Amino acid sequence: MKKKKRKLSLSTKRMIMGYIFIMPWFVGFAIFYVRSIILTGQFSLSKLTVDANVGGYSLEYVGLKNFVYAFREHGSFKQILTTSIGNMLIDVPLITFFSLFMAMLLNKKFPGRAVFRAIFFLPVILNSGAIAAMMDLAETMMNGGISATTAEVSGGTSELAFDIEYLVDMFINLGIPSSVLEYLSSAVGRINDIIKASGIQIIIFIAALQSIPSSMYEVAKIEGATAYETFWKVTFPMVMPHIITNVVYTIVDSFTNSEVVDLAYTTALSEFNYGLSSVFSIVSSVVTCSILAIIVVLIQRRTFYYN
């Protein structure tokens, strides 16, 4: 004989409260993410025409035509996509190690630490959107588009060219493989971008370094480990899980600021080719997500979890 409870039990009550607490996010997720992703997929498979009078739109199914166009005929998409991916693959390890190194420098107590910490986070404020966009737009508007910017770029590099080429020659003579050299020289060339992109990563690593128990360093010291050994046997394994966080953040960040996004944006809002723009978005998102998945799996296999 079952007696139905008139009052809800505490756990059921808490369950309902839990749903109420996450409700705003869930509605937003359903409307803005799930629905949008489905719609983007639909747009990419069709030709979209906007009805001017009501602000609505109509779709005409065209199959894979947009995809074929993007890959076979579009002038710059493939090139922009591959350069974006290439830049990202170069940047990720550099940013990760640079920020780890900087975090280790900033983690120790020394006079002026607060000032340096404040400065190192400044790029997050200065880098994003507004100022960069202003510079770009003002330059293209006033100087007559691409020709002016390329002239400026080549002017900028010629100043540096002497040093870099001299060093490259020297290292080639020393017998260092040219692929390594190419990587290093491109790294030196983009040191500016790397420093600017690693603000948040440095902070994440500082937090990670603070969470390493100091007893581990004491043990290492007693056992007679050198600073080098301590780094590879204690510090590095302990921050390994945060390397994943940082890599994920770096990849997502570099893709949101990449030229593919600009291309998708202009294709949609200046050329009104919504189908093609959706193709660009989808292809680049799929590429990002798969790169992300591959890298995370690769790192995770070697990751050591303390807890």
CB of 307 to another protein, least distance (A): 11
The correct pick among 187, 212, 248, 299 for binding another protein (CB under 8 A) is: 248
Distance, CA of 223 to CA of 228 (rounded, Å): 14
Which residue's entry shows tokens 């360093």?
Answer: 217
- Residues 50-69, one symbol each (x = binds another protein by CB under 8 A, - = not), give ----xxxx------------
Q: Is 61 helix (H, G, I), strand (E, B) or coil?
A: strand
Is 40 in contact with 281 (CB distance < 8 Å)? yes
Distance, CA of 197 to CA of 136 (rounded, Å): 18
Is 140 in contact with 149 (CB distance < 8 Å)? yes
Alpha helices (H) in 108-129, listed in sequence order: 113-127
Distance, CA of 41 to CA of 58 (rounded, Å): 15
Is 206 in contact with 244 (CB distance < 8 Å)? no
The correct pick among 167, 184, 187, 203 for binding another protein (CB under 8 A) is: 203
Q: Please report, as residue ranges, which positions from 157 to 196 form the binding site for another protein (by CB under 8 A).
A: 191-192, 195-196
Q: Is 77 in the site for another protein (CB under 8 A)?
A: no
The site for another protein, by CB under 8 A, has a size of 90
Stretch that binds another protein, among 76-84, 114-122, 162-170, 213-221 (CB under 8 A): 114-122
CB of 23 to another protein, least distance (A): 8
Which residues lie below 8 Å from residue 248, measured CB to CB, with a gap of 6+?
292, 296
- Residues 121-160, one symbol each (x = binds another protein by CB under 8 A, - = not), give xxxxxx-xxxx-xxx-xx--xxx-----------------
CB of 144 to another protein, least distance (A): 11
CB of 117 to another protein, least distance (A): 6
Q: Please report, as residue ranges, which positions from 9 to 38 form the binding site for another protein (by CB under 8 A).
A: 11, 14-15, 17-22, 24-29, 31-33, 35-37
